[in-house]
């Protein structure tokens, strides 16, 4: 992918995970992403989530034709990835495939993590729990109560989350993430990018199994000097 102007990004190194917690292929690739994160975090390499907010408006959001497409997609992704899917949610009369609330929940958690000094991996853990609650437990992510149990499980202050979730700032940040995804030329979900400064390289565009993804990551890590641990026994002298 090479160099480009990424003024909204930190210098890195980092892995940029561009996705949507309601995207079934993102759920299918969740085990691969967890293994990648388990390699990156001990090395001091952040895994940054960028949500796309692929909102589906209008009558088609919960129409029978939309449900049928999702039913076929989920069954196929289950056969390819081995990830579990519960199709029960698609049978609910109230179901609407609106992805914006789940993406807004992610940016709300991002804000809470930053404001309360929580570990950055909490954000990825929240992403994974939203995926599981939707695709395996059949819960509805368009309802705000959907997220409160996940907050409690991960130690995210519920009141702080709720305040951000319903804020105009969170809605704006979803749109800002979507703009950044377009600037990164993302066309497929999930997309994982290796970022070091202004340099970007594709690790995955669409589903990639764990072994292949880790091999691609290690290829990047081989050319990246690992940070040295600070020797606290040394002290600066005049």
Residue 31: which CATH number? 3.40.30.10
Q: Do the domain assignments include residue 78?
A: no
Which has the higher per-residue pLDDT, 149 or 65? 149
Give the mean pLDDT of 64-85. Answer: 93
Q: Do the domain assignments include residue 230?
A: no
pLDDT given at position 124: 97
Q: Do the domain assignments include residue 228?
A: no
pLDDT given at position 58: 45
Residues spanned by the domain of 123: 2-59+97-218
The tokens of 91 are what? 């049978």
Q: pLDDT tens digit string along 105-142?
A: 999 999 999 999 999 999 999 999 999 999 999 998 98
Q: Do the domain assignments include residue 124?
A: yes
Q: Do the domain assignments include residue 74?
A: no
pLDDT bucket at 1, cuts 50 / 70 / 90? low
pLDDT given at position 55: 60
The CA-atom distances, in angstroms, between 21 and each of 18, 79, 196, 208, 226 are 10, 20, 25, 17, 31
Q: Do the domain assignments include residue 38?
A: yes
The tokens of 93 are what? 């009369």
When divided into structural domains, the chain yields a total of: 1
Q: Do the domain assignments include residue 133?
A: yes
Give the mean pLDDT of 176-196. Answer: 95
pLDDT surpasses 50 at 229: no
In eight-state DSSP terms, residue 91 is: G
Q: Do the domain assignments include residue 180?
A: yes
pTM for this structure?
A: 0.87
């Amino acid at each position: 992918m090479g160099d480009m102007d990424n003024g909204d990004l930190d210098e890195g190194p980092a892995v940029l995970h561009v996705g949507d917690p309601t995207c079934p292929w993102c759920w299918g690739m969740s085990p691969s992403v967890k293994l990648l994160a388990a390699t990156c975090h001990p090395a001091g390499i952040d895994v940054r989530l960028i949500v796309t907010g692929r909102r589906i408006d209008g009558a088609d959001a919960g129409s029978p034709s939309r449900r049928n497409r999702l039913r076929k997609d989920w069954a196929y992704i289950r056969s390819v990835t081995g990830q579990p899917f519960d199709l029960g949610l698609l049978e609910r009369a109230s179901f609407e495939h609106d992805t914006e609330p789940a993406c807004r929940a992610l940016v709300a958690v991002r804000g809470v993590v930053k404001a309360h000094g929580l570990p950055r991996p909490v954000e990825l853990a929240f992403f994974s729990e939203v995926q599981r609650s939707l695709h395996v437990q059949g819960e509805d992510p368009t309802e705000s109560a959907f997220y409160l149990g996940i907050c409690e499980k991960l130690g995210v202050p519920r009141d702080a989350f709720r305040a951000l979730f319903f804020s105009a700032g969170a809605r704006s940040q979803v749109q800002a993430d979507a703009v950044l995804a377009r600037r990164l030329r993302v066309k497929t979900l999930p997309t994982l990018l290796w970022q070091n400064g202004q340099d970007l390289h594709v690790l995955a565009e669409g589903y990639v199994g764990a072994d292949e993804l880790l091999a691609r990551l290690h290829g990047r890590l081989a050319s990246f000097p690992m940070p040295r641990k600070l020797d606290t026994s040394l002290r600066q002298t005049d």
